[in-house]
Structure 1
């Protein structure tokens, strides 16, 4: 299997963005964010950054976190430019990763079924 340059860049960006969110971004709205993945276009011009929020966030919390990440996007792109040796830093786009919500929903259903089996 071929390991493309865009995959290597995505791994680097994920590591650096996670560090920035944890240590450098001072916005309290993004305090509970975990970076779950990064996809970089083959031309390295665009990066889709996937994140999840700890706990069970409401729609208002999801919107607040999205606003915080959007506001910090310029700062993070500037910091990536300092940390990564690249000709141009990709444009960043943040997307909520709903797969964790889906996994939690399945887990609740299985737990409920398991409880029903024990009560019968």
Structure 2
């Protein structure tokens, strides 16, 4: 498989997953979720979905549990929407990049304020 094809499938999955999670899932454990990235292996057998969840650690944990329970439904919906011979196996992971970036930005802002005070 070409890398280009796996990237196209990943982008299509990202779009469809955002729609499915936002509009089709009714699980109260699933909070405000943003699909930040999808990485699909070259053979299109595995897909790692990175999500960002608004809320505290408990909300994030509950959201991951809810998504794990709905994995079969999500996978069947993806299979219906994207025509592939075999729908990739989906795993969900929290995307910590945004939080890490915000933490660094806060530290830099504090450093900048400290240098202005001196």
Partner of 1:5: 5
Q: CA deviation at 1:90?
A: 0.6
Cα deviation 1:16-60 (Å, max 9, x = unaligned): 0011111111113223111000011111111000011125x22x2
Root mean square deviation, CA, Å: 1.5
Aligned residues: 117
1:15-30 pair list within 5 angstroms: 15-30=15-30
Could you state the TM-score of these two structures normalised by the residue count of structure 2?
A: 0.90
Tell me which residue corresponds to 1:110.
108
1:51-70: CA deviations, max 9, x gaps? 11125x22x22211110110
Give 1:118 deviation, angstroms.
Answer: 3.0
C-alpha contact (below 8 Å) 1:52/1:96 kept by paired residues: yes
Return structure 1 stretches of 4+ with deviation > 6 angstroms: none
Contact kept? 1:22, 1:31, Cα under 8 Å? no
Q: Residue 35 of structure 2 corresponds to which residue in structure 1?
A: 35
Q: Which residue of 1 aligns with 2:76?
A: 78
Contact map agreement 2:31 2:54 (CA 8 A) in 1:
no
Q: Indicate the larger mover: 21-30 or 84-93.
A: 21-30
Structure 2 unaligned spans of 5+:
none
